[in-house]
Structures are given as C-alpha cells and as structure tokens.
Amino acid sequence: AQSVAQPEDQVNVAEGNPLTVKCTYSVSGNPYLFWYVQYPNRGLQFLLKYITGDNLVKGSYGFEAEFNKSQTSFHLKKPSALVSDSALYFCAVRDFGNTGGFKTIFGAGTRLFVKA
Amino acid sequence: GAGVSQSPRYKVAKRGQDVALRCDPISGHVSLFWYQQALGQGPEFLTYFQNEAQLDKSGLPSDRFFAERPEGSVSTLKIQRTQQEDSAVYLCASSSTGTGTQYFGPGTRLTVL
C-alpha cells in the first residue's frame, strides 16, 4: 500500500538559516510526489511536485525538494528561512494503484517554526 | 481568478442531525476531490469526481456519507445522522485533470456536539 511518512512533528530553525522538512514514501511504481503548506484557517496551498525528470524540483516561495529514489525520500528544503515560512507542511503521494491515480495520500504534517 | 470556495466555513451540528457542505470548484476544472482532516492529522481522501461521475468513493467512512456533483460543477457532501467522530475539517479540491495539481478550498470545520 502507498504511504507517506513525515518523521518530525516539528522543525525549529532560525531565520536566515537553511531548513529541511523530511518526507519518505512507499509506493508501487513510479511516484508522483507533492508538498503542500497550510496556514491557519486557510486551505492547503500547493508548493511543488515531482513527476519525472530532474531530481531537484523548484517550487513556490523559494522552496525546493530533492527526489531520492534509492532512499525513497522527498525532503523539502529552503536555503534561507523566513519567519513567514512558519506553517504546517504536508508531503503527499499520488496512489496509482487500483484507484487509477485519483487518490492522494498525505503525511501527518510537520509544523515549521522559524524564529526571528 | 477565483479559487475553490466552500460553504459554510463553520458548522455546528447536534448529534443525529444531517448536514450538507458545499464546494464551488475553480471554473472549468473537471476533477473534484473531498478530503476529511481530523485535528492534528493530514487530509484523508474521501471521494473523487470527474465531471458529474463519481469515480472513486473508497474513502467515504460509512454509508452516512454521500457526495454528489449533478451538473459537473458544484459539489455537495452530505453527512446523515452526524456523530461526534465526524467532527473534522472537510476540504474540497479541484484540478483541471484527474492527475493534475489539486487546488484546495479553505475547508468547512464541522463540530458535532
């Protein structure tokens, strides 16, 4: 079965420092991977996705993620964190099993705190 | 352009009441998804529509949950005889294709007393 793991409930980083939010996945076949961010009282916002091609994917707000097939990881990164990046981040994988790819499975989320 | 909208934003129901949650997708998006997000958890897939056809309802937790999209645009998620465990945020998302990027609405927070 497809699954997504975000091993850290919370990540703390100082403003200006690089940040990493970890994600590992388990899928059968080639993965479609996504990162979303959720701000309080707002819906999820799409950050970036990996379908095929370059392992380093660049997305919104200066975020990027690196697809590592051997480690089955898709960690979210940003070279220099901003206080405004503080939010809840979700990694997700598209399930291309019997459901035909319509079902997206989300991780439990990682809360990022960026301290000024 | 306008994003995905959902109404109401907040709903309080007494146990046993029926509720209806509405989703207005981005205009022209053929695909529509419903998710349930419990407190402190990630969203969990409920159901998927392609136009008016409900192609996957494998995530609906019980037969008290019913979703429809009769004209291939607006969708309604109905929960009958609500229970306390139904308390959650219900998210709707739409995409231009079935496998395209999903754009989420702000959600409806349902509290069942």
**Contact status, residue B59 vs residue B75, Cβ threshold 8 Å:** no
- Name the CA radius of gyration of chain B, rounded: 13
**Contact status, residue A112 vs residue A89, Cβ threshold 8 Å:** yes
Say whether B43 and A106 touch across the interface (CB within 8 A). Answer: yes
Q: Which residue of B has its CA nearest to A48?
A: B101
**Contact status, residue B56 vs residue B25, Cβ threshold 8 Å:** no
Find how far residue A106's CA is from the centre of its chain. Answer: 9
Over range A55-77, report the average pLDDT: 95
Find how far residue A59's CA is from the centre of its chain. Answer: 11
To the nearest whole number, what is the mean pLDDT of chain A?
Answer: 91
All residue ranges of chain B with pLDDT < 70 are 1
User: Pick from B89, B79, B68: which is nearest to B16 by CA?
Assistant: B79
Say whether A101 and B48 touch across the interface (CB within 8 A). Answer: no
Q: Would you say residue A98 has pLDDT above 60?
A: no
Three-state SS for B84?
Answer: helix
* Nearest residue, CB atoms, A43 vs list B42, B45, B104: B104
Specify the residue for token string 């997708």.
B25
Interface residue of B9, B26, B104 to substitute, partner A, most A CBs within 10 Å: B104
pLDDT at A29: 77
Q: Which residue has the higher pLDDT, A15 or B40?
A: A15
Three-state SS for B86?
Answer: helix
**Contact status, residue B103 vs residue B94, Cβ threshold 8 Å:** yes
Q: Which residue has the higher pLDDT, A22 or A53?
A: A22
Q: What is the pLDDT of residues B3-31, one digit of tens each?
A: 999 999 999 999 999 999 999 999 999 99
Split at pLDDT 50, 70, 90, the class of A53 is: confident
pLDDT at A42: 77
